[in-house]
Amino acid sequence: MQYTHLGRSGLSVSRLCLGTMNFGPQTEESAAHAIMDSALDAGINFFDTANVYGGSGHRGWTEEIIGRWFAKGGERRERTVLATKVYGTMTERPNESKLSALNIRRALDASLKRLQTDYIDLYQFHHIDRNTPWDEIWQAMEVAVQQGKILYAGSSNFAGWHIVQAQEAAARRNYTGLVSEQSLYNLLARSVELEVIPAAQQYGLGLIPWSPLQGGLLGGVLKKERDGVRRTQGRAADTLKKHEEQIRQYEDFVDELGQEPGDVALAWLLHQPAVTAPIVGPRTQEQLDAALRALEVHLDADTLKRLDDIFPGHRTAPEDYAW
């Protein structure tokens, strides 16, 4: 396993992050525990979750599953860099969502209880709160750090200017601020290259891409449909229709390389200088094993250029609109 620092922090994390959103709703508990054990054995020490994971009928379910896994012992907690999130609505009562000081305090304590741990390594804001001032947010986080309940703060789904706001407000308080940003980023979805990635790099945030295979569309979807293995529906079907020719070119090119589409899509992210660790969210052990293969895939300059030709990015970001 390869490791790197999370942004400008001294925290060492694996180049793949285990996403746990499927644990509970899609993957039953014993299988989830087996996947987490296998991930640790493979050297993945970076696990990501959120307080709302588990579905609308059982928010917190995923954290509970992870907590029971930690409770098995075997230094599972000590070997894991644990990331969870705050913002989402947990109940319909006032003050049980977003980033008020009150919700941060309550949500953090509830996550700690579900996770059966006394601290969170990376506590992430799941979304920007447009109505809570940054001084209030950072004061609440400073208190949590002083109490030993969290170590680092991160953001998710932030715009570039949100990162600027957060970091400048933290600097005025002589506080570290954010060390990471979790964003949608893959070969098909590259808008973060415009301003989010430049802002993250300027302020020393590590980028943690979610949905690295764009919901499976970069995982060989056309071949799977031809073979009757997969039937794409809903928004994924609309996206596939819009980008079918690009995806066809991509799958043909990957065949020429002698690689698997999902492996190349993950490897491409690992070759991007701003990326710390793509989030892989396996439902099965086989999907985890497939993700691990990407660590062995090297993409040379010609291959990276060909991928950019198929899926054009923003080469002059953040001033791309001006040239």
Q: Is the pLDDT of residue 237 over 90?
A: no
Distinct helix (H) and strand (E) counts, the chain: 11, 10
**Can you give the pLDDT at residue 239?**
87
How far is the CA of 233 from the CAs of 220, 221, 236, 240, 299, in angstroms?
15, 12, 6, 9, 31
Q: Is the pLDDT of residue 234 over 80?
A: no
The CA dihedral of 99, 105, 110, 116, to the nearest 10 degrees, is 120
Query: Which residues are registered as beta bridge partners of 209?
Result: 183
Domains in the chain: ranges and CATH: 3-216+261-300 (3.20.20.100)
Kindly report the pTM of this predicted structure. Answer: 0.96
Question: What's the average model confidence in pLDDT over 239-248?
Answer: 93
Question: What's the average model confidence in pLDDT over 283-303?
Answer: 97
Q: Is the pLDDT of residue 115 over 90?
A: yes
How far is the CA of 81 from the CAs of 15, 19, 145, 155, in angstroms?
12, 12, 16, 16
Please check whether residue 219 is in contact with residue 262, taking contact to mean a CB–CB distance below 8 angstroms.
Answer: yes
Provide the percentage of residues in the chain whose pLDDT is more than 90: 90
Residue 229's pLDDT band, with cuts at 50, 70 and 90, is confident
Query: Which residues are registered as beta bridge partners of 23?
Result: 27
Whether 53 is catalytic: yes
Please check whether residue 197 is in contact with residue 223, taking contact to mean a CB–CB distance below 8 angstroms.
Answer: no
The tally of CA atoms less than 13 A away on the side-chain side of residue 28 is: 1
Question: What's the average model confidence in pLDDT over 174-191?
Answer: 98
Closest CA to 119 of 127, 108, 129: 108
Phi and psi (nearest 5°) for 27? -125, 120
Residue 191's pLDDT band, with cuts at 50, 70 and 90, is very high
Please check whether residue 264 is in contact with residue 297, taking contact to mean a CB–CB distance below 8 angstroms.
Answer: yes
Q: What are the strands, taking DSSP E only, across 185-257?
A: 206-210
**Can you give the pLDDT at residue 314?**
92
First to last CA, the chain: 40
Of 80-94, 144-158, 220-234, 295-309, the poorest mean pLDDT is in 220-234
**Can you give the pLDDT at residue 88?**
96
Quote the tokens at residue 251. 């799958």
Mean pLDDT of the chain: 96
Quote the tokens at residue 81. 């860099």
Q: Which tops the pLDDT comparison, 227 or 44?
A: 44
Please check whether residue 30 is in contact with residue 38, taking contact to mean a CB–CB distance below 8 angstroms.
Answer: no
**Can you give the pLDDT at residue 263?**
97
Question: What's the average model confidence in pLDDT over 141-146?
Answer: 98
Characterize the bridge pairing of strands 46-48 and 81-86: parallel
Q: Of 3, 53, 123, 152, which is the active-site residue?
A: 53
**Can you give the pLDDT at residue 235?**
77
Of 109-113, 233-237, 270-274, the poorest mean pLDDT is in 233-237
Query: CA-CA distance, 197 to 36, in Å (whole number)?
Result: 29
CB count within 10 Å of CB 118 equals 10
Residue 56's pLDDT band, with cuts at 50, 70 and 90, is confident
